[in-house]
A and B are shown apart, each in its own frame.
Chain A
C-alpha cells in the first residue's frame, strides 16, 4: 500500500527556520515526482514545489521561488520542504503528494496527512 507520512505540527516564530518531511512508503521513491501543496486557513490549494528524487530535478511555483527549498534523500525515501526565515503568512497546512513519472505531472494520486505550520510571535 502506498503511503505518504508527514512530520508533525510545528509552532515557530517569524524569522526562524524550519524543515518538514514526507516519507514515501510502499513504492519506488526515486521515479515518481513528490510535490508540496500549501493550504492557508479557509483557503484553496496552492502548489509550492515539486521534486523527482532520482535526478533530483526540482521545480518551484513562481510565488514561492526563493522563499522555500525542496529536497529529498532517496536513501530514506523522504522529501523535505525548508524555510530559512519564516513569515506569519507561511501559516498553513502543507500537504505532500505523489505525482506520476512524466515530465509534466498532472495527477497526484496519493497525499500525506498534512503538516500544520503555525508562525506567530
Chain B
C-alpha cells in the first residue's frame, strides 16, 4: 500500500488530454513539493515535473503539473503513442522522514 494514491490506469485517444491524480496527506503533499516521473517499461524513471509545476529542460509543455492542498495532478495534452508509460508522483513525507511515491498509473493511448 503506497503512501500516495494514484489511479492504476488511465486511457485516452491520440491527440486527447488526460489527467492523473495523486492524493496524499498533510505530512507529505500538504507541506512539500511534488514531482512526477515517467517510466517507459524496461528503462529508468525520468523526471517530468518538479516543484509541483516546473518542467526540466527538454520536457515539452504538453506536460503540466498542479497542486492543491493534499492532492496533485499531472496533465498531458496532445497525447501521442510515445506517451504510453507508467507515471509516478513523488514527494517527501516529513512524518516518516523518507521519500514516498504513488503506486503508479499506467497510461494507454488507444
Contact = CB atoms under 8 A, between A and B. Distances in A.
Contacts of A105: 92, 99
Nearest to B100: A47
Given A44-B88, A45-B104, A50-B99, A108 B35 contact: yes
A84 interface: no
B97 A59 contact: yes
Interface residues of B, number: 29
A106 B104 CA distance: 17
Nearest to B98: A61
A46 B91 CA distance: 12
Nearest to A61: B98
B68 interface: no
Given A107-B51, A111-B46, A59 B98 contact: yes
A67 to B, nearest CB: 14
A113 B39 CA distance: 12
A49 to B, nearest CB: 8
B105 to A, nearest CB: 10
B99 A35 contact: yes
Of A45, A59, A105, A113, the most chain B CB neighbours within 10 A belong to A45
A112 B45 CA distance: 9
B45 A111 contact: yes
A14 to B, nearest CB: 26
A62 B35 contact: no
B35 A45 contact: no
